[in-house]
Amino acid sequence: MIKNAASYKGKTKNSSTQQHRTRYKWCIATALLLWLLATVLIIVTQKTQPGDELPKPVPESIPPDASQDLTLSLDQENEVPAEDAPWYLTLVNRQNPIPEDYEVNLVKVEGGEKVDERIYEPLMEMLEAAREGNLGQLPMVVSGYRTQKKQQQLYDDKIAKYRRQGYSKEEARKLAEQLVAVPGYSEHQLGFAVDINGATYDVYLWLQENSYKYGFIFRYPGSKTEITGTAEEVWHYRYVGPEAAAEIYEQGLCLEEYLEAVSEQL
């Protein structure tokens, strides 16, 4: 009897130990499963959580006078029709060529460059006022009106330069258009866009802050490159008249944005 009791106790102890081991394994398996489910839930929640979208890539800056196929954000259908816009608001950019049969009456400015006679007085007033910020020297117009022939020459010369450096015809053309506007699509062919040189860089800062008082605008600010299609040109100023210039300056617009806003009011 004692032997049988001992044998029974041994069996009972082994059975109990096996049951504990089985329960332990189930507990471990259950814990692992719950951990896996919790991990998946956290990942899904993080991916769908509002406000955690990846930042949009910043567009690269566009070099001056790059490909004329560049698409502007301006809705071309909403532009002010050419026949309705006053002469000083004529839009010329990569999508808008010089108007057909365009004519201009020119006058020389100091230095020999020519401009539309209608902008001569406000231009000279602006340059005289800029003397103080230019070490007492009159800022110079280094590029004013350009004929189609002149623009074509600049364009062809630039292409030839890159061809001599070993670039293919297509490569040379693309490189040239980074520096020279395609003939027929340059504001300089209007007669009321000018490139200005100063004795110091400070003159450009003065022009940016004061040119609107004389009817001119800083035509190509870097912050508007996506719209104008042209990288910043601190030397390039364009006459748009005192009223438009003031609104463009005060509202931080470029010419394309201003004309779009005007067209929406018509």
User: Which amino acids are annotated catalytic?
Assistant: 233
CA 91, CA 203: separation in Å to the nearest integer?
A: 26
SS3 call for 258:
helix
56 to each of 35, 52, 59, 193, how far by Cα in Å?
A: 34, 12, 9, 35
Structure tokens at 65: 């006078």
Is 109:123 a contact under the CB 8 Å cutoff?
yes
Instruction: Give bridge partners of residue 193 from the DSSP assignment.
Output: 238
CA 152, CA 154: separation in Å to the nearest integer?
A: 5
CA 190, CA 18: separation in Å to the nearest integer?
A: 97
Structure tokens at 83: 């026949």
Structure tokens at 6: 């001992």
CA 120, CA 108: separation in Å to the nearest integer?
A: 9
Taking residue 251's Cβ as centre, other Cβ atoms within 10 Å add up to 10
CA 237, CA 196: separation in Å to the nearest integer?
A: 8
Listed residue (81, 92, 88, 112) closest to 183, CA to CA: 92
The position carrying tokens 């601190």 is: 234
